[in-house]
Amino acid sequence: MGFNPEVKQKIQLALALAIAVAAVRTGYVLYERHASNKKESQAQAAPPLNPDYYVTPKKLHPYDLKSARELTQQPVWVKEGYRYPYYPYNPGTRHVDFEHEAGMLRPIQRLEIKDVITDMAPNSGGQKQVMALFELDGKSYAVQIGLIKDGDYKIYSDEMLFVQDPRVLYQHWSPDVWASVEKHEVKPGMNELQADFAIGMGRPEKQDDPSWKTVHYPNGGNPLTITYHDGKATEIKPDKPS
């Protein structure tokens, strides 16, 4: 049975419209699938954010001797062990014995700052040092936390010391991690900050691949080399003394 030209034209238009709708629908479905796969791929590629990034230690921002003495109002903890030397202090003469280094502040060492003073080291060219006083085993010591340059105070205690207990600041770390930190040990799986807390400052090697990092730690005379992959310690081995 034949169709008249008008009916035939309507049928052709309807078929064309149906084909166009089907094409649009197919394209939309393919786009949705692509977008969904892309989101899943991005979600798999992006590692979870490190909770350490959300920790904001309190800072005192000292700018002179009076403001630096706020360090005496609470205990402090050393941020980077085996980096800062300390010296004997004579309360009678109120002078630091800069000629005889007494030791290095240890990792996460807790200190009670008794006072903050200024003194002048030999060969300092008239430049004064800002010194924080503390006691160990009944003896008085001093560690430099700044200097006076051209009449201006340059105090960097915020970079050296926590004024809050790091165990509270980083309470999201597991008990096993904190047990290793307190024993000054590093175990596989610990991150670089946890290793710093355990064994002090480190010296990184130059690396081409950012997912790998090798760091050398003096560790108070027991040097270690630690290799990190994606931020986690994978290899820990003794190093040669420098």
Using one digit for the tens of pLDDT, what is the confidence trace for 178-197?
Answer: 999 999 999 999 999 999 99
Residue 73 confidence (pLDDT): 97
| Judgement on whether residues 70 and 158 belong to the same structural domain of the protein | yes
Distance CA 129, CA 116 (A): 10
pLDDT category of residue 236 using cuts at 50, 70 and 90: very high
pLDDT category of residue 151 using cuts at 50, 70 and 90: confident
Residue 123 confidence (pLDDT): 86
Percent of the chain with pLDDT over 70: 80
DSSP collapsed to 3 states, 95-160? EECCCCCCEECCCCCEECCCEEEEECCCCCCCCEEEEEEEEECCEEEEEEEEEEECCEEEECHHHH
Across the range 125-151, mean pLDDT stands at 94
Weakest-pLDDT range from 14-18, 50-54, 104-108: 14-18
Mean residue pLDDT across the chain = 88
Task: Kindly state whether residue 35 falls inside one of the protein's structural domains.
Answer: yes
Domain extent, residue 118, equals 65-162
Judged against a pLDDT cut of 60, whether residue 42 lies above it is answered with no
| Judgement on whether residues 89 and 9 belong to the same structural domain of the protein | no
| Judgement on whether residues 32 and 116 belong to the same structural domain of the protein | no
